[in-house]
Amino acid sequence: MSNPLKVGIAGLGTVGAGTVRVLETQAALLAARSGREIKVTAVAARERGKDRGVKLDSYAWHEDARALAGLADVDVVVELIGGADGIAKDLVEAAIANGKHVVTANKALIARHGTDLARKAEKAGVTLAFEASVAGGIPIVKALREGLAANRVSRIYGILNGTCNYILTNMRETGKSFAEVLAEAQKLGYAEADPVFDVDGIDAAHKLAILASLAFGCEVDFKSVHTEGIRDISAEDIQFADQLGYRIKLLGIARRTEHGIEQRVHPCMVPEKLPIAHIDGVFNAVVADGDFVETTLYEGRGAGAGPTASAVVADLVDIARGHRIPAFGVPSSALTKLPVSPLSQHRGAYYVRFTVLDRPGVFAEIAAALRDHSVSMESILQHSRAPGEKVPVVLTTHETEEGAMQATLQAILKSGAVTEPPTMIRIEAF
Amino acid sequence: MSNPLKVGIAGLGTVGAGTVRVLETQAALLAARSGREIKVTAVAARERGKDRGVKLDSYAWHEDARALAGLADVDVVVELIGGADGIAKDLVEAAIANGKHVVTANKALIARHGTDLARKAEKAGVTLAFEASVAGGIPIVKALREGLAANRVSRIYGILNGTCNYILTNMRETGKSFAEVLAEAQKLGYAEADPVFDVDGIDAAHKLAILASLAFGCEVDFKSVHTEGIRDISAEDIQFADQLGYRIKLLGIARRTEHGIEQRVHPCMVPEKLPIAHIDGVFNAVVADGDFVETTLYEGRGAGAGPTASAVVADLVDIARGHRIPAFGVPSSALTKLPVSPLSQHRGAYYVRFTVLDRPGVFAEIAAALRDHSVSMESILQHSRAPGEKVPVVLTTHETEEGAMQATLQAILKSGAVTEPPTMIRIEAF
ipTM: 0.95
Nearest to B148 among A32, A310, A330 (CB): A310
Q: CB distance from A149 to chain B under 8 Å?
A: yes
B331:A32 CB<8 A: yes
B325:A321 CB<8 A: yes
Q: CB distance from A275 to chain B under 8 Å?
A: yes
In sequence order, what are the residues at sequence separation of 6 or more whose Cβ sits closer than 8 angstroms to the Cβ of residue B317?
Answer: A146, A149, A150, B30, B33, B34, B38
The count of other CB atoms within 10 Å of the CB of residue B281 is 13
What are the Cα distances from residue B80, in Å, to A146, B133, B301? 21, 10, 18
Same fold, B5-133 and B344-427: no
Q: CB distance from A248 to chain B under 8 Å?
A: no
B310:A151 CB<8 A: yes
How confident is the prediction for chain A on average, in pLDDT? 95
Q: Do residues B160 and B284 touch, judged by C-beta distance below 8 A?
A: yes
Shortest distance between the Cα of A413 and any Cα of chain B, in A, equals 41
Residue of A nearest to B151 (CA): A310
Task: Give B-chain residues touching A146 at CB under 8 angstroms.
Answer: 139, 142, 146, 314, 317-318
Packing angle, helices B14-25 and B305-320, rounded to 10:
60
Look at residue A1 in the predicted model and tell me its pLDDT.
Answer: 57
DSSP E strands, B69-152: 76-79, 101-104, 128-129
Residues of chain A above pLDDT 90, percent = 89
Nearest to B147 among A142, A290, A292 (CB): A142
Distance of alpha carbon A30 from alpha carbon A67, whole angstroms: 27
Task: Give A-chain residues touching B319 at CB under 8 angstroms.
Answer: none
Distance of alpha carbon B23 from alpha carbon B44, whole angstroms: 16
Range A140-301 has CATH code 3.30.450.40:
no
B223 is catalytic: no
Per-10-residue mean pLDDT, chain B, length 430: 91 96 98 97 92 92 97 98 97 98 98 98 98 97 98 98 97 97 92 93 98 98 98 95 96 96 98 91 96 97 96 98 96 94 95 88 90 94 75 94 96 90 95
Nearest to A296 among B131, B137, B317 (CB): B137
Q: CB distance from B297 to chain A under 8 Å?
A: yes
Burial of B337 (0-12, 13-18, 19+ CB in 10 A): exposed
CATH superfamily of A345-427: ACT domain (3.30.70.260)
What is the 3-class SS of A301-361, one letter each residue? ECCCHHHHHHHHHHHHHHHHCCCCCCCCCCCHHHCECCCECCHHHCEEEEEEEEEEECCCC
A396-427 per-position pLDDT tens digit: 999 999 999 999 999 999 988 898 899 999 99
Q: Between residues A47 and B372, which one has the greater pLDDT? A: B372
Q: CB distance from A271 to chain B under 8 Å?
A: no
Look at residue B383 in the predicted model and tell me its pLDDT.
Answer: 74
The domain limits of chain B are 5-133, 140-301, 344-427
Q: CB distance from B376 to chain A under 8 Å?
A: no
Residue of B nearest to A312 (CA): B150
Distance of alpha carbon A276 from alpha carbon A280, whole angstroms: 9
**Alpha-carbon radius of gyration of chain A:** 24
Amino acid symbol at B394: V
DSSP A391-429: EEEEEEE-SEEHHHHHHHHHHHHHHT-EEEEEEEEEE--
Q: CB distance from B371 to chain A under 8 Å?
A: no
Range B5-133 has CATH code 3.40.50.800:
no
Residue of A nearest to B305 (CA): A292
Give bridge partners of residue A248 from the DSSP assignment.
Answer: A269
Segment A55-81 mean pLDDT:
96
A299:B294 CB<8 A: no
Look at residue A362 in the predicted model and tell me its pLDDT.
Answer: 85
Distance of alpha carbon A156 from alpha carbon B338, whole angstroms: 40
Residue of B nearest to A308 (CA): B293
A191-231 per-position pLDDT tens digit: 888 999 999 999 999 999 999 999 999 999 999 999 999 99
Look at residue B1 in the predicted model and tell me its pLDDT.
Answer: 57
The CA dihedral of B280, B282, B283, B284, to the nearest 10 degrees, is 110
| Maximum Cα–Cα distance across chain A | 83
What are the Cα distances from residue B37, in Å, to B2, B23, B26, B70? 8, 10, 11, 22
Shortest distance between the Cα of A249 and any Cα of chain B, in A, equals 16
| Maximum Cα–Cα distance across chain B | 83
Q: CB distance from A36 to chain B under 8 Å?
A: no
Task: Give B-chain residues touching A325 at CB under 8 angstroms.
Answer: 321
CATH class of B344-427: alpha beta
- What is the pTM (predicted TM-score) of this model? 0.96
Look at residue A303 in the predicted model and tell me its pLDDT.
Answer: 92
